[in-house]
Amino acid sequence: MRQRFANGGRHLRGGMKACNTLTQMSTVQVTCDWGGEQMLTPRQKLILAAIVEDYVRYAEPVGSRTLSKHRGFQISPATIRNEMADLEELGYLDQPHTSAGRVPSQKGYRFYVDHLATSADIDPETVMSLRALFQEQMVEIERVIQQTSTVLSQLTQYTTVVLGPKIHQEKIKHIQLIPLSGGTAVAILVTDTGHVENRQVHLTEDISSDAVVRMVNLLNSKLKGTPLANLRSHLYREIANEMANTLEYFEDAIAVLDELTTVTDQNPGKVYVGGATNILVQPEFRDVEKVKPLLEWLEQADWNTAEHAFPLHGGKLQVRIGHENDVEPLQDCSVVSASYSVAGVPVGNIGVIGPTRMNYGRVMQILDYVANALSKVITERVTGGGG
């Protein structure tokens, strides 16, 4: 077996090759470094890229003759075969069986994503949809995100998971307590961004409405401006004592606060899943046994599981290919994810889940745009640029 160019050099970090009409492509953040990665000749890169792109498109192993014809390469199939053999030897390609064409390995995809992915211009329709999405005036942040998830899954034809903005950093704007009948009451918490949370609590049966008003006033005066993340510490250290002296219904106030602190504990933010059924069209998921774990994971995904799958991070794009995913049901998939930020602080995450045979270039490009636009829109909304 010939083994040209297997010289074990370190790879060069390169960004996306081309940029397109949408936005400047950010440098890809590599999540995983392959120790002992080899340099590839320009021709090998060309062939690897061609194989990845062909396979992404047609979902069939790519043969040497197809490749030489299809791409108008000026090399004969035999030469391509030689190169393919080398690439396989180096671990970038797999062969399902002797008489089949080649298929990119995970390592192959990784190399492609890190060094080869180009962004062919996205079709104008997609550009339009994206522009439209963010120009629309939507008042609620929740709705913006919901829509983002939907549009993104439609555009990519993959599945989208959006972690709605984390509310830890948001500050308490207002607390309200509305007594219902029979000793229950609704406790409502509004944050400075307009996020509303509510919990029901039990109160002393015959509490007077005056007492409730006093309680609410005290809570508001003490807690207004407190970031949700600090609620618990604030509460017991500073407020509890003082309340014990002032309030007749100290127990009730504590009950209310206890409920409100569950906001950040149990429910750091919402999770939006879009286009879960899109994976069903992918040939690699035609088999029910293959999709099931994935769909089950999606069905049960809450913030914590989802954030475990693609953590919030400062950088821009993350790509996890197959077994690079920690979460088992995602190990047959690739996940491209990006965080979006409010004033530079990452508060949420968008993940696109597809087969490893994914159109990385396109998804990365779209996602990059979406993450930027979303950050901008939400930051504007939150930092006061209101109407």
The distance of closest approach from Cβ of residue 113 to DNA in the complex, given in angstroms and rounded to an integer, is 23
Instruction: Say how far residue 23 (Cα) sits from the centre of its chain.
Output: 19
Out of a second copy, DNA, none, what residue 146 binds, judged by CB under 5 to 8 A for its kind, is none
Footprint of a second copy on this chain (CB under 8 A)?
A: 139-140, 173-174, 176, 178, 180-184, 186, 188, 190, 192-194, 196, 198-202, 205, 275-277, 280-281, 285-288, 291-292, 295-296, 299, 384-387
The distance of closest approach from Cβ of residue 182 to a second copy in the complex, given in angstroms and rounded to an integer, is 2
Q: How many CB atoms lie within 10 A of CB 278?
A: 18
CA 38, CA 152: separation in Å to the nearest integer? 35
Give the nearer residue to a second copy in terms of CB position, either 81 or 199.
Answer: 199
The distance of closest approach from Cβ of residue 201 to a second copy in the complex, given in angstroms and rounded to an integer, is 7
Give the nearer residue to a second copy in terms of CB position, either 79 or 198.
Answer: 198
Q: Does 7 bind DNA (CB under 7 A)?
A: no
Residue 300 β-bridge partners: none
Binding residues among 302-321 for DNA as defined by CB under 7 A: none
CA 351, CA 347: separation in Å to the nearest integer? 14
The CA-atom distances, in angstroms, between 94 and each of 55, 117, 262 are: 12, 19, 50
DSSP strand pairing (317-321 vs 172-179): unpaired
Q: Which two tokens stand for residue 285?
A: 């998921």
Sequence-ordered list of residues with C-beta below 8 angstroms from that of 97, at least 6 positions apart, any chain: none
The distance of closest approach from Cβ of residue 44 to DNA in the complex, given in angstroms and rounded to an integer, is 10
Give the nearer residue to a second copy in terms of CB position, either 23 or 198.
Answer: 198
Out of DNA, a second copy, none, what residue 82 binds, judged by CB under 5 to 8 A for its kind, is DNA
Out of a second copy, DNA, none, what residue 182 binds, judged by CB under 5 to 8 A for its kind, is a second copy
Out of a second copy, DNA, none, what residue 213 binds, judged by CB under 5 to 8 A for its kind, is none
For the CA atoms of 72, 44, 322, 338, the dihedral, rounded to the nearest 10 degrees, stands at -80
Give the nearer residue to a second copy in terms of CB position, either 99 or 135.
Answer: 135
Binding residues among 87-106 for DNA as defined by CB under 7 A: 88, 95-102
By CB neighbour count within 10 A (0-12 exposed, 13-18 middle, 19+ buried), where does 350 fall? buried
The distance of closest approach from Cβ of residue 17 to DNA in the complex, given in angstroms and rounded to an integer, is 23
Q: Does 75 bind DNA (CB under 7 A)?
A: yes
Q: Does 379 bind DNA (CB under 7 A)?
A: no
The distance of closest approach from Cβ of residue 289 to a second copy in the complex, given in angstroms and rounded to an integer, is 9
Hunting for tokens 């994810």 — which residue is that? 337
Q: For residue 220, report the phi and psi dihedrals to the nearest 5 degrees.
A: -65, -45
Element (H, E) at 188: strand 184-191
Out of a second copy, DNA, none, what residue 85 binds, judged by CB under 5 to 8 A for its kind, is DNA
Residue 355 β-bridge partners: 333
Give the nearer residue to a second copy in terms of CB position, either 65 or 173.
Answer: 173
Give the nearer residue to a second copy in terms of CB position, either 342 or 364.
Answer: 342
Contact with DNA (CB under 7 A) among 20, 34, 46, 65: 65
Give the nearer residue to DNA in terms of CB position, either 86 or 114.
Answer: 86
Q: Which two tokens stand for residue 378?
A: 């939400």
CA 256, CA 189: separation in Å to the nearest integer? 11
For the CA atoms of 279, 283, 289, 295, the dihedral, rounded to the nearest 10 degrees, stands at 0
Q: Which residues bind DNA (CB under 7 A)?
A: 1, 4, 43, 60-66, 74-79, 81-82, 84-85, 88, 95-102
